[in-house]
Structure 1
């Protein structure tokens, strides 16, 4: 039994069931025993591998996108170039290396910001940036602390780790899904007393008894904060995550440990917890702030940004083993049965800022 699981069982036994949102928040961010505050989750030795860790090409192409967005916005100076949830710092390092080759003046004029809530990950990022080139980023723990002015912001696999509330359709109506203790004293799901405003449920879709609806107010709040900043001061945002394009009913809460799915109650604090992102909700928030959203699959985005061409250039003077590795990376990042379709890319900007990687139908 993990230390956090024991604490959770004691908490629930003393105060009663907690919401799924509270359970996720404790499992991921508890200062003493939380997943992101106590361990190194990324890479082969961790529990999962993100796109920047799969291939340098991912960060290079996202860097080209960020530089192009800055140009499309009129090259405002000063400006902030930020990443939220930068992990080990791999994505930002690859982006800055690429942009520096395109325009050495970018780093000289940008206020580079990393927004990280985990002290442990912040230290890892500081160590890597100490030898990663001439860029000297500043660290922040929340978006509200960023400097004023135009903001160009990137986030990869950020929204999926933000806690959500779950609601279950019962014979007595919709009730919030809670984490409780069963007769044996083990963690289990139960239906609480709180309900949900029916206007928030997907329209035109019938929910059977037992159906689950996920609401993510924390995601919407962050998206609203970023959208308001961009709408007010200029800039653009790019958000990459796995999820669905239309709202619906599903239980997408899942745990990942050692690159395999785990029971969500098996190892609290020692396994990653995520849910699928409702991109339609994020699009609605951006539109309400006056921004123009663009949305497509990760595969389409990377191919439009030149993934095949970049792989060809890297492999042109390399041996067959390197070319085979590059083919595998392309397939994993953009293949329809791998990350290419499951992962979506959402870009937002003021209406008059044209962004690469999307066609007019997106």
Structure 2
């Protein structure tokens, strides 16, 4: 039987068996996003259970995945459940130590902005605003410098609804959730009428002239950890041992992260350990591009290094350093910021556009003292109501600048528009250069 007869027979059978199809689908009503609610804290699986199940299903996870789960889990994540900053939390920040810190930053932004000309209308954009203490101190300065509510707006990048509410209660006389169609998810007004907006991503913040503040923001960004072996760079992963405890293990082969993140000049020198945050590099690039294209200045303040350190990943609980693989979700995970890598991500080069002029890093001690922090310190002490208050003010300042405390470990870096190169050569950036002595 030839092929023609076979096809002819099949066609007859198929024709005879042809049926009319009806509706073979079921209409399903999608849930209304406006009515969806997150489960109450404590009713969802614990962070440890989530991590263990993920490892059982998919194998070892990267340190970046581990941090991401702990930071962003909507109900059990570290920043989602409680206030974590201050004496009663797991760590304390410079703005919580002294009002002088935020005031100096406000003066710094204003001073550097004068080199650009007009700065109105102005957006103040803070990434990870914490308890909003820094922003309150900056706004106090801005008010003294003549900015009216119509001249500025505040834009806060915050993923934690808990911290968002803390910030709103401190900053605003009224605040509310908004429609899911809007780029921001929360809004409010200060007592003077300044509009405040909250976002879960920097990309959603309007592209306008802005002061960008990132204080102790990059140190919590998820990192990949790498070690150099005889066979080249390999990634450290987190796995479960026989007792159901988390531990580190090293990959036998190069991972995708090894191939995509470890590139010259990041892997230069004789380093045998690396920590790279892809998220940090992306945000640094965003800030640099925004500053260069739309105007403004970005200031980064964090504890970190200039590429000389390798293993800095750790956890804090009640102000004490603890094992980062124990009690996930209950401790603050952090890693020193590699300012060398941020510079690479943000710096303008001859072959690229929309990148910034990068200044720093400089030590916190040097930055504050070059910005005349001691002058402000004297004013605060002269206006103190008692000797006890004066002593507190003095000790707080010493905490900020002493090399053995925060003075050396914390560093500052700034991004300026690339068009300012001539201006900055003529008028060096405040805080990042030694002021000329007056005759």
Aligned to 2:316: 256
1:53-104 per-residue CA deviation (whole Å, 9 max, x = no partner) reads 1111111111111222332221233332111110111111110011101223
Aligned to 2:96: 53
Aligned to 1:337: 404
Aligned to 2:359: 294
Aligned to 2:40: none
**Aligned mate of 1:206, from 245, 257, 270:** 270
Q: Distance in 2 between matches of 1:269 and 1:153?
A: 29
Aligned to 2:242: 183
Aligned to 2:225: 166
**Aligned mate of 1:275, from 335, 339, 344:** 335
Q: Distance in 2 between matches of 1:323 and 1:224?
A: 42
SS in 2 for 1:40: coil
Aligned counterparts, 1:141-152, within 5 A: 141-152=200-211
Q: Distance in 1 between matches of 2:112 and 2:153?
A: 16
2:92 aligned with 1:43, yes or no? no
Instruction: Select between 309-318 and 267-276 the one with higher mean Cα deviation.
Output: 309-318
TM-score of the superposition, structure 1-length normalised? 0.92
Q: CA deviation at 1:298?
A: 0.9
Q: CA deviation at 1:201?
A: 6.3
Runs of 4+ in 1 over 3 A off after TM superposition: 197-204
Q: CA deviation at 1:27?
A: 1.4
Aligned to 1:63: 106
Q: Which runs of 5+ in 2 are unaligned?
A: 1-44, 174-189, 349-353
Q: Distance in 2 between matches of 1:173 and 1:233?
A: 42
Choose between structure 1 and 2 for higher RCO, CA contacts under 8 A separated by at least 6 residues: 1
1:188-211 per-residue CA deviation (whole Å, 9 max, x = no partner) reads 00112334246346455324xxx4
Aligned to 1:127: 169
Aligned counterparts, 1:19-30, within 5 A: 19-30=62-73
User: How many pairs does the alignment contain?
Assistant: 355
Q: CA deviation at 1:360?
A: 6.6
Aligned to 2:392: 325
TM-score of the superposition, structure 2-length normalised? 0.77
SS in 2 for 1:238: strand
Distance verdict in 2 for CA 1:201–1:176, change over 3 Å: farther
Instruction: Select between 334-343 and 198-207 the one with higher mean Cα deviation.
Output: 198-207
Q: CA deviation at 1:118?
A: 1.0
Aligned to 2:254: 194
SS in 2 for 1:137: strand
**Aligned mate of 2:296, from 215, 235, 242:** 235
- The question of whether the paired residues in 2 share the 8 Å contact of 1:298 and 1:334 is answered with yes
Q: Distance in 1 between matches of 2:355 and 2:232?
A: 35
1:80-138 per-residue CA deviation (whole Å, 9 max, x = no partner) reads 21111101111111100111012233x43112211111111111111111256423322
SS in 1 for 2:106: helix
Q: CA deviation at 1:32?
A: 2.2
Distance verdict in 2 for CA 1:173–1:148, change over 3 Å: closer
Calculate the aligned-residue CA RMSD, in Å.
1.9
Q: CA deviation at 1:14?
A: 2.4
